[in-house]
Amino acid sequence: MGPSGELFDITIIGSGPAGLYGAFYAGMRGMKTKILDALPELGGQLVTLYPEKWVFDVGGFPRILAKDLARNLVDQAMTFSPTVYLGENVTLVKMREDDGGRAFEISTDKGATHLTRTIVLTAGIGAFKPKKLDAPGVGDFEGRGVHYFVTEKEKFRGKDILIVGGGDSAVDWSLNLLDVARKITLVHRRDRFRAHEESVKELMNSPVNIMTFHELKSVHGNERMERAVVFDNRSRAETVLDVDDVILNLGFHADLGPIREWGLELDKGGIKVNYRMETNVKGIFAAGDVASHPGKLKLISTGFGEVATAVNFAKNLIDPASKVYPGHSSDMREVPSARKRS
């Protein structure tokens, strides 16, 4: 940890996959690097939303648990010992110009000010909250059988589970919990799923009880949820299911929060960037899910390429004599072994 008034070459705001890889890559380019994140631990959504979910869209891993991917990324990010500040929510970014040159002042809700020559925003989808279902009993049993996140698979061992939704999360959890749950029922209001084709194919060939054109009407119980009522949205016929837990995978409300006030040009709920991953403010870059550009594909693997691009152009901005394209990492004679942060 360095003093907050120390000037850094690059500050990465957000420590999800793109941010962690960006910290490693900045170290490869010899940049003095800082990571800021509002969360209490590194890893972003990989550790806060779905640590025990399989991730399939990262090169080199046919599949890997999110928490394991996060651990590997943290180990890699710490290779060049970046300075890390966690539990700090960035509230304001402003430019400062004096005899020392041009730099950004980053203010946080902890009253700290961080100084940096460049910024890379890897804030994911921003602040996120699950879309909640306003149905009788759902709010009453939240935490007592009703869930919006799965952080520990073992909590569902031997349980009868109802999963609600039709996207990747609903399909993935239906498959991922098969090895611990006694029975899984998936309800979706349509007959088409918004998930990867291979996952849907696997779902259709699995023992999951699939109820399409059905929706959750209510949940009931005493101290804990004991049953759920679902209905056919075509005939309105109702079915009572004896279940121990309901997992609601209905998506998220995302909000960029204070980022909206920083003078950055926004597009489709993200931050508009060019091919260099530059925003409209010189010295501020964006990468990963928060970055918006034509043809954007929101994948972890996409974020890795974007943040490497952002770091290379940030390096060239503060040191015009440096090359934007530094060559391959394999050209380096030695990379320090990964070190745990203190």
CATH number for the domain formed by residue range(s) 132-250: 3.50.50.60
Q: Tell me what pLDDT residue 1 has.
A: 40
The answer, yes or no, to whether residue 120 has pLDDT greater than 90, is: yes
What is the architecture, at CATH level 2, of domain 7-128+253-331?
A: 3-Layer(bba) Sandwich (3.50)
Q: Do the Cβ atoms of 186 and 103 come closer than 8 Å?
A: no
DSSP string for 235-280: T--EEEEE-SEEEE---EEEE-GGGGGTT--EETTEEE--TT-B-S
* % residues pLDDT > 70 (the chain): 92
Residues 131-155 as b or e (16 or more Cβ within 10 Å = b): eebebebbeebbeebbbbebeebee
In whole angstroms, what is the distance from residue 318 CA to residue 297 CA?
29
Q: Tell me what pLDDT residue 338 has.
A: 46
- pLDDT-derived band at 337 (thresholds 50, 70, 90) equals low
Mean of the per-residue pLDDT values of the chain: 90
Q: In terms of Cα–Cα distance, which of 204, 215, 243, 19 is closest to 124?
A: 19
Q: Do the Cβ atoms of 7 and 105 come closer than 8 Å?
A: no
Q: Tell me what pLDDT residue 70 has.
A: 96
Same fold, 7-128+253-331 and 132-250: yes
CA torsion through residues 177, 51, 164, 298, sign: negative
Domain boundary assignment for the chain = 7-128+253-331, 132-250
Structure tokens at 179: 């090895």
In whole angstroms, what is the distance from residue 280 CA to residue 267 CA?
12
In eight-state DSSP terms, residue 47 is: H
**Location of structure tokens 């990867």:** 196
Highest mean pLDDT: which of 76-80, 130-134, 146-150, 248-252? 76-80
Average pLDDT over residues 14-42: 95
Q: Tell me what pLDDT residue 50 has.
A: 83
In whole angstroms, what is the distance from residue 269 CA to residue 277 CA?
16
Q: Tell me what pLDDT residue 330 has.
A: 61
116-125, 229-238, 319-328: the lowest-pLDDT one: 319-328
- pLDDT-derived band at 336 (thresholds 50, 70, 90) equals low
**C-beta neighbour count of 202 within 10 angstroms:** 16
Q: Do the Cβ atoms of 86 and 13 come closer than 8 Å?
A: no
Strands 252-255 vs 83-86: parallel, antiparallel or unpaired: unpaired
The answer, yes or no, to whether residue 339 has pLDDT greater than 50, is: no
The answer, yes or no, to whether residue 76 has pLDDT greater than 80, is: yes
Q: Tell me what pLDDT residue 99 has.
A: 62
**C-beta neighbour count of 188 within 10 angstroms:** 22
CA torsion through residues 128, 129, 130, 134, sign: negative
- pLDDT-derived band at 52 (thresholds 50, 70, 90) equals confident
Determine the number of helices (DSSP H) and then strands (DSSP E) in the chain: 6, 22
- pLDDT-derived band at 100 (thresholds 50, 70, 90) equals low
In whole angstroms, what is the distance from residue 191 CA to residue 195 CA?
12
Q: How many CA atoms lie within 13 A of 47 on its CB side?
A: 17
pLDDT tens digits along 152-194: 899 999 999 999 999 989 999 999 999 999 999 999 999 999 9
In eight-state DSSP terms, residue 194 is: B
DSSP three-state, residue 201: helix
DSSP three-state, residue 297: coil
Structure tokens at 281: 């403010």
Q: Which residue blocks in the chain are alpha helix, DSSP H?
A: 17-28, 45-48, 66-77, 168-176, 197-204, 300-318
In whole angstroms, what is the distance from residue 287 CA to residue 303 CA?
6
The answer, yes or no, to whether residue 333 has pLDDT greater than 60, is: no
**Location of structure tokens 């890559």:** 25
The answer, yes or no, to whether residue 132 has pLDDT greater than 80, is: yes
Strands 266-267 vs 270-272: parallel, antiparallel or unpaired: antiparallel
Q: Tell me what pLDDT residue 342 has.
A: 36
The answer, yes or no, to whether residue 259 has pLDDT greater than 80, is: yes
Average pLDDT over residues 97-112: 85
Average pLDDT over residues 24-30: 97
Q: Tell me what pLDDT residue 334 has.
A: 53
